[in-house]
Amino acid sequence: MIKLEHVKKVYPNVTPLADVSTEIHDGDVISVIGPSGTGKSTLLRCINLLERPDGGKIFLDNEEITSPKSNVSKIRQKMGMVFQSFNLFGHLTVIENIMLAPVKLKGVSRQDAFDEGMKLLRQVGLSEKMLNYPHELSGGQKQRIAIARALAMDPSVILFDEPTSALDPTMVGEVQAVIRDFAKTGKTMMIVTHEMNFARTVSNRVFYMDEGGIYEDGTPQQIFGSPKRDKTRRFIQRLKVLEIKINSKDYDFPATIASIENYCRKNLVANRICNHLQLAFEELVQQILLPGREKPEVNIVIEYSEEKNEAIMNINHGLNGENPLDTADELSMSVLHGISDNINSDRETGTIKLFIH
């Protein structure tokens, strides 16, 4: 139904979409997840042409909608958009909000628009609010009205831009329930959301966005159960990450130890685990990996899981085919075994991994 080819969007100080290519099929329900600032909302706004891409092409039903000849008004009639801030017209009643676009844009009779509007209001559980004004509704009710308004145009695609982010937590469930019901109707949907459990249950596909594009695309079972890529895994498991790169024997050791301490303090890592991380770094890097190397290339990634209360230190030492632990002295190995009961070394990839509890 929708095809993106090398879509790019650039702002003065940031490029949220560097190169996005994907296909969205009829009936797909896609949750778009990822850290803030990774282009999730920008992707939706480019598909709906609220933002013009700076490069690439977008097709809807095999028609290139990014072509200068395309009729943007006609295209938007095929795409319903639900914003996080509702965007209802305050001077119109609930039913008037829903009737407005079908009457003005599609030429539907007021009676037909009213009948369809009431049908949608019943579906979202708010038929008794037909004559109320938006200011008389709760946030959750406003968002359900916004969903009904989007559906009133009978769009081919519905785009949800963080539909529950502006809501009180007590109202999130009622909006999610409405979206789940409509997802079962076969409508094509894209939903930008930070609600992971919701994304897992409502979708048949999940886009994880990072590095200027769709970093990983898969089923909910794959993305949430066994993500293939590191950043996806860290995001899903809510891991706190610290990366350290050492490419000189004369690097600033005290500052690096301090950076580990600051990372631990920021992420509320237990003092015992923090001390063990610093000790592991000192023994592995200072005592085992750096001696005898003129130009070391050592990359360390520390991941802390609050859920498991566990830290993992991954060291890529660059000595493929070797295991530096084989030649380490007994004192260093005794220290490492004292702070980690699980040390893995992979000769082929040149990596060492420590699990620290």
In terms of DSSP bridges, do strands 2-11 and 55-60 run parallel, antiparallel, or are they unpaired? Answer: antiparallel
- What pLDDT does residue 294 have? 82
**Final residue before a domain boundary, out of 187, 209, 235:** 235
Mean pLDDT of the chain: 92
pLDDT at 249 over 90: no
How many CB atoms within 10 Å of residue 136?
A: 12
Specify the number of domains making up the chain: 2
Residues 319-340: pLDDT tens digits? 888 899 998 999 999 999 999 9
- CA separation for the pair 307, 240 (Å, rounded): 11
pLDDT at 272 over 90: yes
Residue percentage of the chain with pLDDT more than 90: 77
Looking up tokens 């891991």 gives: 239
User: What is the extent of the structural domain holding 303?
Assistant: 239-356
**Final residue before a domain boundary, out of 202, 235, 268:** 235
| pLDDT tier, 24 (very low <50, low <70, confident <90, very high otherwise) | very high
Separation in Å, CA 2 to CA 33, 64, 79, 180: 19, 10, 11, 21
Q: What stretch of H or E contains 6?
A: strand 2-11
Residues 157, 20, single domain; the answer is yes
Q: What stretch of H or E contains 342?
A: strand 342-346
Residues 294, 160, single domain; the answer is no
Residues 223, 289, single domain; the answer is no
Residues 205-218: pLDDT tens digits? 999 999 999 999 99
How many CB atoms within 10 Å of residue 15?
A: 15
Q: What stretch of H or E contains 316?
A: strand 310-316
Structural contact between residues 64 and 38, judged by C-beta atoms closer than 8 angstroms = no
- CA separation for the pair 349, 245 (Å, rounded): 17
Q: What is the CATH number of the domain that holds 331?
A: 3.30.565.10
pLDDT at 165 over 90: no
Residues 325, 297, single domain; the answer is yes
User: What is the model's pTM?
Assistant: 0.82
pLDDT at 295 over 90: no
Mark 152-164 as b/e (b = at least 16 C-beta within 10 Å): bbebbbbbbbbbb
pLDDT at 118 over 90: yes
287-296 mean pLDDT? 87
Residues 44-67: pLDDT tens digits? 999 999 999 999 999 999 899 999
**Final residue before a domain boundary, out of 235, 263, 290:** 235
Half-sphere exposure of 86 (CA within 13 A, CB side): 20
Residues 222, 260, single domain; the answer is no
Q: What is the CATH number of the domain that holds 208?
A: 3.40.50.300
Residues 221, 285, single domain; the answer is no
